[in-house]
Structure formats: C-alpha cells, structure tokens
Structure 1
Amino acid sequence: MSARSGKESIIHQLELPRTGVRTRAEFETLPTVPRGWAWELRSGRLELSLMPVTFWYSRIVCQVLDFWRGYGYEAAGDQYVADSGFARGEIGQHNFVADGVVFQPGHRPDKHSTTHAPANLFAVIEAVWQPAQVREAIDKLRVYSMLGIPHFWIVRGDHDSDDLDGFVSMYELVGEDYKLTGSRLVSELTPARDVVSAN
C-alpha cells in the first residue's frame, strides 16, 4: 500500500548511506511508529507508510475479486499485490500498487510472477474509505489510463459506519480517458449487468 496523506501523515524519507546499507543499530534508532504504520524501502529511501490492511479492506477486496473469478477471470489481490505491485510501463522501481487486479481474459500469470505488465491487466480495483485515499485513487485514473488498462473500479467504504458493504464506482477507458459507466453496492453486483465483455 502506498503512504497516505491524511490527518495522520507523518511521512519521513531517509536517504540510504552511500554503501546502500543501514546497520541494525541504525535501524533501531528510527522513530517508533504508531500501530498500522511501517517502514518501507522505496527507490533507495526509507519511507514511513500507512498499511491499512483492516478487516474491511481484506473482506471487500476479496469479495470483488471473487465476483470476477466467478465468471472466468484470473484475479489477484490482498498481500500478493501489496507485496509486488505491477509495472508502470516496465518492470522496475516505479511500480504502482493496487488493492486488486483482474487479468485479461485467458491470461494466467506464472505462479512465481511478482510484477504484471499493463497489457495483461483488464481491471484495477482500489478500496478506499478516507478522503485522502479517495483523492489518491482519483489521481491514479490518469496513470492507469496512460497504461491503457480498460477498467478501473473504486470501492468506497463508510469510515463512520459498521456497515461492511462498499459502493463501487466503475470506470471504463474510452479513448484516452476514463468515463464513469456505472455504480452500485458491492452486495448488488450481478453478472447480467456488471461483468464486462472482453470485446
């Protein structure tokens, strides 16, 4: 998951020493982070990142991906995607991480793959429930459209409610931009109107 920039934004970036190595003693002097945050190594920097893998996130992403799998699509999510991401144009340090991905019809990733070329992706799923996360997901519309990914679903949850459902905004790539083509609750997803044809 990427670092979030909401009211809890306490993101630090620390350049690595010239050797590229920090000793255990140096690592142990880093500030203690609040629950839900973790140090991550990104592009040669240590960054403090929010890791919001809550029950709602896990449940809602699995529910959406299971929906796609039920109709013949390969899909990946949860820790698999959070640990690997997929390549932004090419394999390397500039990967984007998504909460879930759905692969092109007929594409079956190698079981050892850790990154996925954009051409193999049919849909990207983002699950959000804080204003900063919503803004971040909307910002990704431009990047995903540049990569040519046909579908982008943003699932919003209600942070102040005990409801475990989510509201899906469905975007489809038309030309070079995404257009909103539908929206409904995750619990209301039905194959007749929601599974997108590969044509």
Structure 2
Amino acid sequence: MTVTIDLPSDGVITRATFENLPTPNRGWAWELHDGRLELVHMPVTIWHWQIILMILEHWRRHGHEVAGEQYVADSGFVRGGSGRNNFVADGVVFVAGHRPRPRDTTHDAGVIHVVVEAVSDRSEENDAVNKFGVYAALGVEHYWIVRGDADADQVDGMITMHVLRDGAYEVAGHRMVSRLGEGS
C-alpha cells in the first residue's frame, strides 16, 4: 500500500493531523513511536487475542470496563501535542466507575487501572522495555505482561504482575491466565 501524506512543515503531528490521515486497509494501523508516524501491520496470533480476551473478561467480571487495542496517551494527543509516547495497549482496564465513551480510542493514563500486554518475540523490547518506563512515568497503577507458548495445545500464559510503587514498577506476583479466578 502506498500512502502520500501532507504533514505540517514543523513536523509536529497533532491529533487533528492524525485524525485526517487516510484510513489504512484492514490489518494495518497508524502508530506513533518515539515521535515517528508509522504504518504498521497489525496481525495477531489466535493465542495473543484469546489471552487478552481471557484477562479482560476476568476484570469485566470484577466490575471494570475494559477494552482491547487502545491508545494510552501521554500529554500528547490528549492535550494537543505530538503524542511522542502514545502506545497501543493490547488491553486496558479502566479504573472502577469510569465509563469510556464508545467511540474513544485514546485514553488519558489517569483513567486506566491496568495495562495488559501479551508479549511475543517480535514485541518483547517494545512491550517489556519501552512501554514499561512510559506507563510508570504516566502513573498507570498496574502493568501486566503475559508470556506464553503460542504453539501449545492449550491457550494459557504466565502473567508477570507489576504494581507502581514510588514511581517505578515492582513485581507483585505471577499467575497463569487460566488460574486468574482462583483466590481473587
């Protein structure tokens, strides 16, 4: 797919610029990474999607609103800036009582209780390193990173649960996705 984009002469991509981008073909999405606009292919494995659905369902059963493939925004798009650290999270769990508007795709970190990322070899650095520091700096209280075997007969994965303490994430525990309902 070839796309021609007229960007502002100052190179700053604002929310208005972003919203006026041409709609990519199915399976492709615009993303901002370190201030660079990229058109990325967004296929996910069945394992990846099922793991995210299982975790989001766990939180939904506990009364939280949830969503998949959402932007976690820094002071960028939410406040009209460049969106330098906007990241697409595999899953978000909203703070208790928050009801996102149905058409929203970008959320201020203040309304997010948990960010969930299902990590693959391809996404390890972005999910477990780049996003890790940004989400902590934004004050997202919980960050769950899930790793698993996409080739296994059964869909499951090990969650490393991080909690924000004094501005940094600490490991709060580990649990298999299939065992989320136990003891909680």
Fold shared by both chains (TM-score > 0.5): yes
Offset of residue 47 of structure 1: 3.4
- Residue of structure 2 in register with 1:133 after alignment: 123
Question: Does the alignment pair 1:115 with 2:106?
Answer: yes
The code of the aligned residue for 1:96 comes to: F
Question: Does the alignment pair 1:150 with 2:141?
Answer: yes
Higher strand fraction (1 or 2): 2
- Residue of structure 1 in register with 2:63 after alignment: 72
The code of the aligned residue for 1:111 comes to: P
The code of the aligned residue for 1:119 comes to: G
Offset of residue 161 of structure 1: 3.1
- Residue of structure 2 in register with 1:49 after alignment: 40
| Distance of aligned partners of 1:148 and 1:164 in 2 relative to their CA distance in 1, 3 Å threshold | same
**Size of the alignment, in residue pairs?**
160
Which residue of 81, 87, 101 corresponds with 1:96? 87
Equivalent pair of 2:48/2:150 in contact (CA under 8 Å): no
Offset of residue 192 of structure 1: 3.1
How far does the alpha carbon of each residue in 1:56-91 deviate from its partner, in whole angstroms, 9 at most, with x for none?
Answer: 12111010000000011111115xx2xxx1322242
Between structure 1 and structure 2, the one with the greater Rg is 1
Q: Distance in 2 between matches of 1:65 and 1:176?
A: 25
Offset of residue 160 of structure 1: 4.3
Offset of residue 184 of structure 1: 1.4
The code of the aligned residue for 1:86 comes to: V
Equivalent pair of 1:158/1:166 in contact (CA under 8 Å): yes
Could you tell me the percent identity over the aligned residues? Answer: 40
Equivalent pair of 2:116/2:145 in contact (CA under 8 Å): yes
State the TM-score, normalizing by the size of structure 1. 0.69
Equivalent residue of 1:67, what SS?
helix
RMSD: 3.0
Structure 1: 5+ residue runs without aligned partners? Answer: 1-13, 21-35, 194-199
| Distance of aligned partners of 1:175 and 1:160 in 2 relative to their CA distance in 1, 3 Å threshold | same
Structure 2: 5+ residue runs without aligned partners? Answer: 10-25
- Pick which of 42-51 and 179-188 moved more: 42-51
Equivalent residue of 2:113, what SS?
strand
| Distance of aligned partners of 1:68 and 1:50 in 2 relative to their CA distance in 1, 3 Å threshold | same
Offset of residue 41 of structure 1: 6.8
| Distance of aligned partners of 1:165 and 1:175 in 2 relative to their CA distance in 1, 3 Å threshold | same
Q: Distance in 1 between matches of 2:164 and 2:7?
A: 43
Q: Distance in 2 between matches of 1:18 and 1:145?
A: 31
